[in-house]
Amino acid sequence: MNHDERHDRFMERLERGEKIEATDWMPDEYRRLLLKLIHMHAVSEIMGAFPEKEWVPKAPTLKRKLAIMAKVQDEMGHGQLLLRVAEDLAAPLGKTREDLIDDLIEGRVKFHNVFHMGSPTWADAGVIGWLVDGAAIINQAALLDTSYGPYARVLKRICAEESFHMQHGENIILALAGGTKEQKRMLQEAVNRWWEPLIFFFGPVEVTPAAQRMIDYKIRTKTNEELRQQFFNKYIPRIRSLGLTIPDPDLRCDEKEGKWIFTEPDWKKFGEIVRFNRGPKSQERIGLRRFAHEEQRWVREALVRSREKQPV
């Protein structure tokens, strides 16, 4: 079978709604698009733990501390599950887990813009759970019917846990929204900080060639803008119901077109933050990740060597 025939047969499988497995033949382009997406997803989960872990020692009550610790643990767990999926895709390209992590600490793989930002107050911890996780769930739920089986299976588990994150975040912000004047002000300021990064999070309005290829390959089925509009539909009424103001004076719903009109974020600024790790917290957090990876290298080596010495 020549390459074109294989490719046709592969596309027919996708058309029939079949899932692709790690051991199946797949076009190189499909593998690379998937790897890029899942690698970024994986390292974003890991880097997503950082803005929140900063609040573990400072959480206001023991219950809040336990809950946010559980969340940080989940994010790392999701990172591990996703790295497993990425690793199997990367293996034929000669890349390993170490390489995937090296890519992160050397700045060769991007992670989501939201995790480059600071989380200066407890309200930020709440808003991350409420709105950032809310946005992430919309993204991830839209990927549940992805054509790549191993990714679909891992996403199912991740989405189940993300729904806890959503409740957790809502619980924090509901407490603040019903609290003192000072707490309400803190919440409003956090929403002000997160709104623009959240709009950027969903990506460019136009369908880029790479995004179109992902849709062709049924890796994803929805466009960035469809997902962003979903987010608006779900969250704008809720944000407003709490008496909070959304920091976009031009935000309105176009009833005729059935969509939200919004002020576009500073694409260039956030693009550079993500591409060059130039956000307010990028270097600090990557530095922590690098420290963990390098300082614990001897442990990983020792574990591997100790097994080599045992009769297996």
Contacts of 181 (CB under 8 A, 6+ apart): none
> Least Å distance between CB 147 and another protein?
13
d(CA 213, CA 304) in angstroms, rounded, equals 40
> Least Å distance between CB 23 and another protein?
7
Q: In this structure, are strands 252-254 and 259-261 parallel, antiparallel, or unpaired?
A: antiparallel
With CB under 8 A as the contact rule, the residue among 38, 81, 155, 214 that binds another protein is 81
Closest-CA residue to 172 (of 127, 141, 212): 127
> Least Å distance between CB 304 and another protein?
5
* Interface pattern 159-178 for another protein (x via CB under 8 A): --x-----------------
* Interface pattern 247-286 for another protein (x via CB under 8 A): ----------------------------------------
With CB under 8 A as the contact rule, the residue among 70, 205, 210, 261 that binds another protein is 70
Residues in contact with another protein, total (CB under 8 A)? 27
Closest-CA residue to 282 (of 295, 272, 296): 272
Torsion of Cα atoms, 69 then 173 then 193 then 139, to 10°: 70
Closest-CA residue to 260 (of 230, 223, 238): 230
> Least Å distance between CB 76 and another protein?
9
Q: What is the number of alpha carbons within 13 Å of residue 57 lying toward its C-beta?
A: 2
* Interface pattern 19-38 for another protein (x via CB under 8 A): --x-xxx-------------
With CB under 8 A as the contact rule, the residue among 60, 96, 163, 287 that binds another protein is 96
Task: Please report, as a single letter, which amino acid is at residue 151.
Answer: Y
Contacts of 212 (CB under 8 A, 6+ apart): none
Q: Cβ closer to another protein: 62 or 299?
A: 299
With CB under 8 A as the contact rule, the residue among 7, 153, 184, 222 that binds another protein is 153
Which residue blocks in 2-128 are alpha helix, DSSP H? 3-15, 28-53, 62-90, 97-105, 122-127
In the three-class reduction of DSSP (H, G, I as helix; E, B as strand; rest coil), residue 253 is classed as strand
| 291 is a contact residue toward another protein (CB under 8 A) | no
Residues that bind another protein (CB under 8 A): 21, 23-25, 70, 73-74, 77, 80-81, 84, 87, 91, 96-98, 153-154, 157, 161, 297, 300-301, 303-304, 306-307
